[in-house]
Amino acid sequence: MAYLFTSESVSEGHPDKVADQISDALIDNFLAFDRDSKVACETLVTTGQVVLAGEVKSHTYLDVQKIARDTINKIGYTKGEYMFDGNSCGVFSAIHEQSDDINRGVDRASKEQQGAGDQGMMFGYATRETENYMPLALDLSHRILKELATLRKENKEITYLRPDSKSQVTIEYSDNNIPQRIDAIVVSTQHDEFGDDESMLAKIKDDVINIVIPRVIAKLPEPTQTLFNSDITYHINPTGKFVIGGPHGDTGLTGRKIIVDTYGGKGAHGGGAFSGKDPSKVDRSAAYATRHIAKNLVAAGVADEVLVQVSYAIGVVEPMGIFIDTYGTCPFNMTDGEIAKKVEQLFDMRPAAIEERLKLRSPMYSETAAYGHMGRKNEIVTKTFSQPNGESVTLDVELFTWEKLDYVDKVKEAFGL
């Protein structure tokens, strides 16, 4: 019997994502001037206020207030009427030095013997459902909000949008797990106040359905376009009004959108957040590494759908183990346990090896902090960072290295494909 599956996304202006972006902007600035920085930085945002807290071991000094304000302004919180804007909000910093008890388990005389920054299990997932090997419901949810943000910043076709928004997509699947159609789409977007409540809601509904959605569809591959139909149930701003939003409407915290950040409820999640953590924290680096493994396995033809788990003990170099689940989609006679053994031989999962393989000691993290850490475009961008003393550095930074299909040939050779 056919079934429904739903995933959601939140925009860069959602309070939790504002917090994530500030935390990751701090990570990038620390790494830009000191590649060996150890950082665990949390951010809280609320009405007119930003609170930074965490632990840092670094040889550089940053103007954390300026970094927070620049990030907020870039997102679009630039007006006093939002009750939260980058130029006037208070920024309180309670960042202090990293605990020696934690650091002693991570730093070693030999970089290769670097211990895991924490215990825990991390998951990576990939599926043939989309061209970027991501679950379709989540991919569409992200796309809707990115298009909404583009329209907001263009300020031409739709001129009343504010930064905070959420989306949700429900897809009907066949018994053999193939997407059949889009059943429902939910969009809640913050907006200026204009006219009466009824006319506001009617205008927003019409613009989302007739401007935003067609722009999303136009950028999709043809097979996915056919899943859109006239029978989709739309819930647009279902409360009827969304003027009060952002950190004024709802306090935001780093790390509260981990399912949005990964696979939208498909596969699994180990529980650890990503933003605000340098790559010695395996919550982040190993989650990227397992995504890299899963994507290359699917692209190589080992299976149509793959879940990869790795686990660590704090301060221990080698992982506790690697687990593979192909959901019965492996086309040849090999068990998931046998596949896992080959994966262990192909991919060095020691923390330092992951950092080296995926180039994780570069300031690549601001771009991850909204619209998902997985399924994104691998590209090289130029970024400039400045210190309070006037020193600046310009770097070419490779983004989303874990999305590269650079192990496909090695996987095929190992599996005889």
* Strand 321-325 relative to strand 3-10, pairing: unpaired
* Strand 161-173 relative to strand 179-191, pairing: antiparallel
Judge whether 273 is annotated as a binding position.
yes
Judge whether 222 is annotated as a binding position.
no
Asked if 354 and 255 touch (Cβ cutoff 8 Å), the reply is no
Measuring CA to CA, how many Å separate 331 from each of 126, 133, 334, 346, 407?
16, 18, 9, 20, 19
Judge whether 164 is annotated as a binding position.
yes
Nearest to 217 by CA among 155, 153, 152, 140: 140
Judge whether 166 is annotated as a binding position.
yes
First to last CA, the chain: 34
Judge whether 277 is annotated as a binding position.
yes
Judge whether 104 is annotated as a binding position.
no
Judge whether 98 is annotated as a binding position.
yes
Amino acid at 149: A
Judge whether 198 is annotated as a binding position.
no
- How many Å apart are CA 310 and CA 327, to the nearest integer? 17
Judge whether 70 is annotated as a binding position.
no
Query: Kindly report the CA angle at 370 between 117 and 72, in degrees rounded to 5?
Result: 100
156-173: burial string, b at 16+ Cβ within 10 Å, e else: eebebbbbbbbbbbbbbb
Judge whether 81 is annotated as a binding position.
no
Judge whether 241 is annotated as a binding position.
yes
Judge whether 256 is annotated as a binding position.
yes
Backbone φ, ψ for residue 377 (5° rounding): -85, 125
- How many Å apart are CA 325 and CA 335, to the nearest integer? 9
DSSP states of 311-330? EE-BT-SS-SEEEEE-TT--
Judge whether 55 is annotated as a binding position.
yes
Q: Is the dihedral of CA 149, 150, 154, 157 positive or negative?
A: negative
Binding residues for K(+): 42
Please report, in range form, the residues annotated as the binding site for L-methionine: 55, 98, 250, 281
Annotated binding site for Mg(2+): 16
- Residue numbers belonging to the annotated binding site: 14, 16, 42, 55, 98, 164-166, 241-242, 250, 256-257, 273, 277, 281
Annotated binding-site residue numbers for ATP: 14, 164-166, 241-242, 250, 256-257, 273, 277
